[in-house]
Structures are given as structure tokens and as C-alpha cells.
Amino acid sequence: MKVTGTRQSIKSAVLLRCGKKPTHHNMSRSRRTQALLQFGLFAGILVFANIVANSFYGHLDLTEEKRFTLTKPTKTLLKDLKDRVYVRVLLDGEFPAGFKRLQTATKEMLDDFRSESGYVDYQFENPSLGSVEEVNERRKALADDGIMPFNLRVADVGESSQQLIYPVAIFHYGGRQMTVKLLENNSPSLSPDEVINNSVTLLEYKFANVIKKLKTPKRPVILFTRDHGELNELQTTDLERGLQQFYDTDRVSLDSVVQLKANECALLVVAKPRGAFSEKDKFKLDQYTMNGGKILWLLDQMDASLDSLNQGGKFISTPYNLKLEDMLFKYGVRINSDVILDLQCTKIPLQIGQVGNQPQYQLFDWYYHIAAQPESKHPIVKNLDRVEFNFASSMDTLRTKTPIQKTVLLRSSQYSRMQFNPVELNFEILKYDPDPTKFSKGPQNLAVLLEGSFPSAFENRVSEDLLSGMKQLGMDFKSVSVPTRMLVVSDGDVAANFVRDAASKQTLPLGFNRFEKSTYANKDFIINAIEYLIEPNGVIEARSKEVKLRLLDSVRAKAEQNFWRGLNLAIPLLFLAAFGWLFNWLRKRRYAQQ
């Protein structure tokens, strides 16, 4: 007997051949069994997929700048965690659209950290939640820990808003805690969207950096030289306060030590010396470098300051006699005896008149105080705001005996010129509008990073008696250094905070311009430089990441808002209608065939 037709017809024919008549009950039970088997199989696949998803993590980063991919040093750091890292993020709640992006980015970054290490855990908190008494008590406790609120204005399409927030994350590890600012400085030169974008860009670096510092049992030591007229403790108060969260700082007199050891001094800072260095001091600095020591040179070539000019209205600037020129020449850089003037500068007040007994002041561009905008992609200055320089000199890079990589980190603008030694300084220059044709010398080097094996400045200059004395002390003279780094900046004041009152030790933050009432990125520049000099292949690599700001055309968005709103409403409805029609058509066709 030949059987043709559907599956049900075949089944009925088989039953008839066996002497059984198919019933409606048997057919219904068969369908139920088949449906249950299909459901069980689907549920099993879902459970298995969830188990696999919880055991393994991965994602495909298709962004141009790889914004969702952690850098290799960060991954290594997280995989080496041996204890729990708990993060309290004080960023819970409802925020304006722009700031909501920082909140979301913070959560996503912590999720990425947690995917690399199960020891990372976090919680979002809202410090403004609760009764008035609870909120005030919580804010007082945060203020006692140095955590202050921030009043942020975020602009959106056609609207703006302000809100008191705490853009910080508190990291806990091994019984210690450190605070990370999530929001970058709200510079007046940047739009609110750019501030948020820079903050998102630096999240990985900030989080990885604080975890690394919490993990490090022994804090690196940073020493400032003294006895050559360098910046005193009051002038570096804010810088050292920023460093002491992660490092130990102290002063050292080169006369009081036989040798500087690179394993005991992670970095040496020579901050604005005004007196000559002896040959013995220079030899100690040289051999410290030869043995892998790192030096941050913050040097004023010319004796010039606004205070000296204010005293008489005129001042003749001449070079300091530091006697460091031969060493720096050997290392590959020369600071020229000049002063740079730049049309991109900061302002100073000058008296323009008097009303009654009250003098009247007005701010004028002061071309000797340069506002240098970083253009390099180097991690030290990437995503950095402008840095203020006072009476800086130009620098040249030189060919060296050994291969040394020279990276210019900061330059003056293209609208620059120089005045050469001796330099007569006065305020007469402010009486006339600047002539752009005279500011045509192009960008001048202000900060140069040197990396490689340095030749000794004392090669073929060491006497036999000195060599014999060094051997007795267990020291060897080296004519070429192990690979190391140094940074030369042609302005010592770049690291000096303003001292308001020396008697009461009142100081202003580093980088704060007391005339313009604005803050420049001097502190960030110096701290970034120190971190790179100490550990160039560490988590500072994450500062090189860039999150491009892709903004909407606000004018076009406002003009076309009704069209896009209608389109967003219509497309989902059309999709649902098309899906419903197709589903019903397929269903009718299937059962019509049966």
C-alpha cells in the first residue's frame, strides 16, 4: 500500500493498517508532548548560555579610539590583585543629560575592571538622599575627609541646569582608602561637554593609578635639592601636598651626602636654583643619573620676576650663573639666555586711574607670562589644559654622543618672539597694541623630555685620586648611564604656588592665577611628569587614550526636532504592523495547507 500526504495522514494510515483508528485525544497528546520537548530544549539552551556567559567575559570593541578596551598595564595590574578593592561612587541620583554620561561611563569602567578581576566591587551612593539632618551630617563627614561638593552647570539643547554633586569615587584596599576626582577641572576655556569628555577619557588612568598606589607597600621617595636658592617649602606646599598622597617627599643638601642612590631616591627635583652648583654637586648629580636616577630640572635661565619689576617699574634681567650648562649640553639640551614673549598669554593688573582715594585697575595681556596649550600626544600632557609659564627662556635640542630620544612636551604659540640678554623689562610695552609682525619667531620649546642612555658630563675628567677614593667607598665611576629619563623645563615658577602670607603660611593652589581668578594645569603637568619619570610603562599609558567628542549640531537638532520625534514614533509602529501582518499571513498559509 502506497501512503502519501502529510505527516498526520501517514500516522493515520499506519494506525488503520494496524487495525487502530486514530483518535482526537491521541493527536492532541502527541502535540503537547512535542511542544513540551521543544520548550524544554529551548530552556536548556538558555540555562547553558547563561552558565557560559557567567564563566567567560568578552566583548568586541568597534569604536575608532578603542574606548572600551583596557590598556595592557591596567589588565596586568588587575590580574595581580590579591585582595578586595571596594569602590564607593558618590554619583547616584538623577542628573542632567551631559553629566549622566559621566555617571554611566564610571559604571561601565568599573564593570570592565570587575571583568578582569573578581576582587573589584563597587556601589553607587547618593549623598543628598535622606532627611536634612542626615544630609548635613553626611556632608560634614565628607568635608572632614577633604571631599567638597561641586556645583556643575550642564548645557543641553535649549536648556541648562545646576546641581550640587559629589563627583568622586572612594577606593578601599588593604585597610587604606584614597579619593579620586571623577570630574576634571571646569576650565573656562572648555565647554561643559568638553569637560565631561575629558573626565570620561581619564577614568581608566585615574582608577588604575589609585589601585596601583594602594597596592604599593613602600612609597617612592622624591627629594628636592636645596642650598642653591631653590624654591622653599612654602612655595612648593601645594605640589608636595598633591604628591604626598602617593609619595614621600623631603629636601636634600648635596653637600651632606656622599652619593645619591637611585634605589633610595625615585626622583630628584631641582626646582628653580639661583646659585651656582659646585663641581662636587654636579658630579653627584651626574653619577646619580648614570646609575639610573631620574631628574626633573625646573630652571630659570634669566633673573626676572614681576615683583622686581613692580618695585621700580623697570628691571634689567641677566642670566643666573648656575654652572649647569655643560651638563645639560652633554645630556642633549641647551637653555638660551633670552626671555620669550607670546601673544597667547595671561593677564596682570595695572592702575589706570583713581576715583577718590581708590585706585582703578584694569587687566592687560602680559606677554612674558605664557599660557602654553599642550599639542603633544605624549601621556604627560595628553588632555591637559593650558600651563602658565613666567619669564621662560627658549630651549634647543642637541646631538648627543649616545642615542637619546628628545620629546618636546610644551611650546609657546606661533605668535612668539624673544628678547636676548641683557633684557630690559618695563610696562611701556603695554601702552601700545602689539605688532603681530614682530611676534613671528614661531613656537619655542618650553619643556623637553629626554630618554635613553646619557653620556657622563665628567667623562675623561675624573682624576686618579677621585677614582681611588670612589673604589674605597664601594663606588664605580660610570661614563654611560643605564637607560633612564629626565625632563628639562625652562621655568622654575611653573611648580611654585603663590605665597599670600609667609608668616601665617597662607598659600594659593598651584596654577591659580590670582589676577584672573582662574586655575591653570601646572599642578597636573608636574605630577604627570613625575609619575612618568618614575614609571613610564605603568598605568600612565592609559592617559594616551582618547575619547572623541562627537557633538550634535544643536541648531539643526532644534530646527528638525519635530521630524525626528515623528520618525522615532512612526518607525516602531510600522515595524510592528509589518511583523503582525507577516505573522498572520504565514500562519494562515501553514494551516491552509494542512
Residues 490-515 pLDDT 10s: 999 999 999 988 888 899 999 999 99
Q: What's the CATH number where 113 sits?
A: 3.40.30
Give the total number of structural domains in the chain.
4
Can you tell me the mean pLDDT for 348-355? Answer: 84
Can you tell me the mean pLDDT for 355-376? Answer: 89
Can you tell me the mean pLDDT for 375-393? Answer: 90
In a domain, 448, yes or no: yes
Q: In this structure, are 206 and 323 located in the same domain?
A: no
* Overall residue count recorded for the chain in this entry: 594
Q: In this structure, are 399 and 511 located in the same domain?
A: yes
In a domain, 203, yes or no: yes
| Residue-level pLDDT at 276 | 95
Per-residue pLDDT tens for 78-94? 988 888 999 999 888 87
Q: Which domain holds residue 121?
A: 72-213+549-554
In a domain, 342, yes or no: no
Distance CA 546, CA 377 (A): 10
Q: In this structure, are 78 and 131 located in the same domain?
A: yes
* Least confident span in 161-175, 347-361, 430-444, 538-552: 538-552
Q: In this structure, are 162 and 208 located in the same domain?
A: yes
Using alpha carbons, select from 377, 456, 380, 442 the residue that is nearest to residue 412. 442
In a domain, 64, yes or no: no
Q: In this structure, are 201 and 228 located in the same domain?
A: no
Can you tell me the mean pLDDT for 316-333? Answer: 94
Q: In this structure, are 258 and 284 located in the same domain?
A: yes
The share of the chain scoring above pLDDT 70, in percent, equals 86
| Residue-level pLDDT at 235 | 95
| Residue-level pLDDT at 4 | 47
Per-residue pLDDT tens for 245-284? 789 999 999 999 989 999 999 999 999 999 999 999 999 9
Q: In this structure, are 127 and 49 located in the same domain?
A: no
How does residue 3 score in pLDDT terms, banded at 50, 70 and 90?
A: very low
Using alpha carbons, select from 334, 373, 364, 361 the residue that is nearest to residue 346. 364
| Residue-level pLDDT at 546 | 58
Q: Are 93 and 126 in contact (CB under 8 A)?
A: yes
What three-state secondary structure class fits 405?
strand
Distance CA 93, CA 103 (A): 9
The 8-class DSSP code of residue 168 comes to: E
Q: Which three cell numbers stand for residue 101?
A: 554620561
Q: In this structure, are 82 and 206 located in the same domain?
A: yes
In a domain, 425, yes or no: no
In a domain, 346, yes or no: no
In a domain, 542, yes or no: no
Per-residue pLDDT tens for 288-316? 999 999 999 999 999 998 888 887 778 89
The share of the chain scoring above pLDDT 90, in percent, equals 42
Per-residue pLDDT tens for 446-481? 999 999 999 999 998 888 888 888 888 888 899 999
Q: In this structure, are 205 and 239 located in the same domain?
A: no
Identify which has the larger pLDDT, 71 or 439.
439
Burial (Cβ within 10 Å: 0-12, 13-18, ≥19) of residue 194: middle
Q: In this structure, are 145 and 203 located in the same domain?
A: yes
Can you tell me the mean pLDDT for 119-138? Answer: 87
In a domain, 2, yes or no: no
Residue 175 has pLDDT above 70, yes or no: yes
Q: In this structure, are 207 and 259 located in the same domain?
A: no
Q: Are 323 and 277 in contact (CB under 8 A)?
A: yes
Q: In this structure, are 508 and 408 located in the same domain?
A: yes
